[in-house]
Structure 1
Amino acid sequence: MTLSLPASRTPDRDDAPPIRWGVLAPGGIARDWTAAVHATTASRVVAVGSRAQDRAQAFADEFGVDRAYGSYEQLVGDDGIDAVYVASPHSEHRDHALLALAAGKPVLVEKAFTRNAAEAAAVIDAARAANLLVVEAMWTRFLPHLDVVRQCLENGLLGEVKAVIADHGQHLYPDGPQRMSDPALAGGALLDLGIYPVSFAHLALGGFDRVQAFGTIATTGVDEGETIGVVSASGAVGTLSTTMAAHSACLASVIGTEARVDVDSWFYRPNTVRLFDGDDVELDRYEPPARTHGLAYQAAEFARLLADGRTESDLMPLDETLRIMQVLDEVRAQLGVRYPGEPG
């Protein structure tokens, strides 16, 4: 029998119910996310909050947003929004998510979810206590091509999974965004770039029993790059790498005893999935319906969850978000990277 890839089960983005979003912190990722939401979903950003009124107003003017606030407290207090998208630096995610939850607002929190696992647990506990929806904005988890990979794992199409390989490198240091090299903003390669291969492998292997990391530290004290070896409970291995000092191929593979799947370059974006047999013959491939506005899939899923009265996503469960943050903590501990204010 010839193996073939399953069809993606991911619903169309424009079929999700409309909700009214408030954007907290109008930076670069917020701009990309808002453009995607407006282009391909029924939802709209209706309010934006910044520490500076002029920044909020400029964002509102660019995207046709109704209300611009010069404080985050005003934004989360707006009764005309259904949910808050937290797009501030990693260092602020806990406080901003807690601020929104305290105001009774469901929250989509940019990845990495927080600086560390203790902060993640605080947000998760607050959300569960308030019975409010919170989702980590690990956008890859919601893309159609990753559902194809997920089904390959669920259906045993690959046989017994033995290995995962994934990498993500971008040339963002030393001449890139200042936040990447700033310990106070929880900078470094791991939380911004390395989380993609870690999250991919965590899904493919069902978690890690052992983690071993080797890396390079930038002059500012953040991690410049690392290679992370992981082992699952079944004995499958993963080789994961990231760097903010150079551009890498950004490929991902899941390798089983019967077959493997490869995801093309920039594996974490809408992408092609290829199925190979043990003789390296390509048996099938999946092409995504569109390679644009991939950030909208997570917003559409959030809207569906909110309409259904759910408090977390099966595609990115909160307990898994917490376990991934624990892995990132372990990697940083092995490398000797600590952010200001973290316990020694």
Structure 2
Amino acid sequence: MSRPTDVTVNVAAIRPRLPDPMDAPVLRWGVLGTGWIAERFVAALRRNTRQVVTAVASRDGARGAAFAGRHGIARVHDDAGALAADPEVDIVYVATPHPAHVGGALAAIDAGTHVLVEKPLGLDAAEATRIAERAAAAGVYCAEALWTFFLPRFDVVRQVLESGVIGPLRTVLAEYGEYLPDGHRAMDPALAGGSLLDLGIYPVALASRLLGEPRRVLATGDANRFGVNAQTGALVQDDAGALAVLYTGLSGSTPTTATIAGTRGAIELPGPFYQPGDVIVRTWADGEILRYTEPAVAHEALYWEAAAVARDVAAGRTQSRERPLADSIAALRLMDAVRERLGVSYVRTNEGVA
């Protein structure tokens, strides 16, 4: 998302500019992983696009076969390499636990296959940079599946920011807290558990996109009895003095809202801000000047990112326009700075498994 300018735009008339997902060129998708997000991604594609899922890979053969049966997928593989080398697969969607993202991504890239990696792109900026550099060298498409930035809602936000109507950016407020039960994978240190990568990536990515490289980062938080970070608060400031106030936690649900405020007005994103929903724009002089509304269909909207990726690949692009790899790396660099202040580190195990 661009920083505000002084372009004159009829803000009240702003609507999403995204093409119909049904018109996106068809790719043959291979899915690495059979968990919660993979289920929703495949279901959303089947119901809302012409994309075709041709193969799935899981190290657990029974889980892979069951997943394939539920979704009408013909081909089942037992590892990332076999999936990436499948001649019926144009692009791999990496939907494994966080520590295996880098292995899954590199397996696809090394096979010369395009790849969409579920958020976060890597456990840290170093892993994300490694993926980006390998993809660039191979000349294949690579993007992070941070679906928020592909949604119609966020195209509206982009246009409002570009209009300059709220004035120069001063404040970003964003939070995401959710109650996650003891058995959730986010409670497992071996799976890079905690709130930061699962939930915190959304407010951190928003702040990073808007503020750019931070001049100052302050953070505090605590761990739970499983040894993973339970909640985190952070203050981030850029060179122009704009400030982001961020929160994430896994011990209780919060409104999950975001506000982007400038010197002349603000953009309000009612919760959950990272999903489909409303955009409200107010100026200090005129009050509410835009209320954009779209159906709050939650993860059913994952298909928007797949359609955008399919258009990119068909056009010969190697990165996403909505989520360039530089943005993914910058967000993880900010996350690294937050983790450094908290003393949080991750275990790296089982690269590339599903």
TM-score normalised according to structure 2 size: 0.92
Partner of 1:216: 222
Aligned counterparts, 1:122-271, within 5 A: 122-173=130-181, 175-177=182-184, 179-271=185-277
Aligned residue among 95, 98, 102 for 2:110: 102
The alpha-carbon deviation at position 16 of structure 1 amounts to 0.8
Query: 1-side partners of 2:71 and 2:348: how far apart?
Result: 36
Query: 2-side partners of 1:283 and 1:191: how far apart?
Result: 35
Partner of 2:55: 47
Query: 1-side partners of 2:155 and 2:120: how far apart?
Result: 21
Partner of 2:333: 326
Answering whether residue 95 of structure 2 is matched by residue 84 of structure 1, we say: no
Q: Is the 8 A contact 1:76 1:105 kept in 2?
A: yes
Aligned residue among 295, 307, 312 for 2:319: 312
Deviations, residues 131-155 of structure 1 (Å, cap 9, x unaligned): 1100000000000011111112222
User: Does the residue aligned with 2:280 lie in a helix, a strand or coil?
Assistant: strand
Deviations, residues 48-102 of structure 1 (Å, cap 9, x unaligned): 0000111111000000011112232221121111000000011110111101111
Q: Which amino acid letter does the alignment assign opposite residue 145 of structure 2?
A: A
Partner of 2:307: 300
Q: Is the 8 A contact 1:5 1:148 kept in 2?
A: no
Q: Which amino acid letter does the alignment assign opposite residue 150 of structure 2?
A: F
Q: Which amino acid letter does the alignment assign opposite residue 257 of structure 1?
A: T
Larger displacement relative to structure 2 (90-99 or 206-215): 206-215
Deviations, residues 199-223 of structure 1 (Å, cap 9, x unaligned): 1122222342221111111223221
Partner of 1:13: 21
In structure 2, stretches of 5+ residues that fail to align are 1-7, 350-354
Query: 2-side partners of 1:3 and 1:142: how far apart?
Result: 20
Query: 2-side partners of 1:58 and 1:334: how far apart?
Result: 43
Q: Is the 8 A contact 2:168 2:263 kept in 1?
A: yes
Q: Which amino acid letter does the alignment assign opposite residue 311 of structure 1?
A: T
Query: 2-side partners of 1:37 and 1:3: how far apart?
Result: 32
CA distance 1:116–1:268, change in 2 (3 Å): same
Partner of 2:39: 31
CA distance 1:290–1:265, change in 2 (3 Å): closer
Aligned residue among 272, 279, 284 for 1:273: 279
The alpha-carbon deviation at position 282 of structure 1 amounts to 2.2
User: Does the residue aligned with 1:140 lie in a helix, a strand or coil?
Assistant: helix
The sequence identity of aligned pairs, in percent, is 41
User: Does the residue aligned with 1:4 lie in a helix, a strand or coil?
Assistant: helix
The alpha-carbon deviation at position 106 of structure 1 amounts to 0.6
Partner of 2:289: 283
Query: 2-side partners of 1:341 and 1:29: how far apart?
Result: 21
Query: 1-side partners of 2:212 and 2:294: how far apart?
Result: 25
Q: Which amino acid letter does the alignment assign opposite residue 16 of structure 2?
A: S
Q: Which amino acid letter does the alignment assign opposite residue 281 of structure 1?
A: G
User: Does the residue aligned with 2:346 lie in a helix, a strand or coil?
Assistant: coil
The alpha-carbon deviation at position 279 of structure 1 amounts to 6.2
Deviations, residues 213-260 of structure 1 (Å, cap 9, x unaligned): 111112232211101111122111110101011000000111111111
Deviations, residues 252-300 of structure 1 (Å, cap 9, x unaligned): 1111111111011101111100111216832220112673621111100
Partner of 1:338: 345
Q: Which amino acid letter does the alignment assign opposite residue 99 of structure 1?
A: A
CA distance 1:20–1:157, change in 2 (3 Å): same
**Alpha-carbon RMSD:** 1.7
Query: 1-side partners of 2:79 and 2:327: how far apart?
Result: 32
The alpha-carbon deviation at position 41 of structure 1 amounts to 0.8
Aligned length: 340
Query: 2-side partners of 1:133 and 1:296: how far apart?
Result: 18
Q: Which amino acid letter does the alignment assign opposite residue 135 of structure 1?
A: A
In structure 1, stretches of 5+ residues that fail to align are none
Partner of 1:59: 67
Q: Is the 8 A contact 1:121 1:322 kept in 2?
A: yes
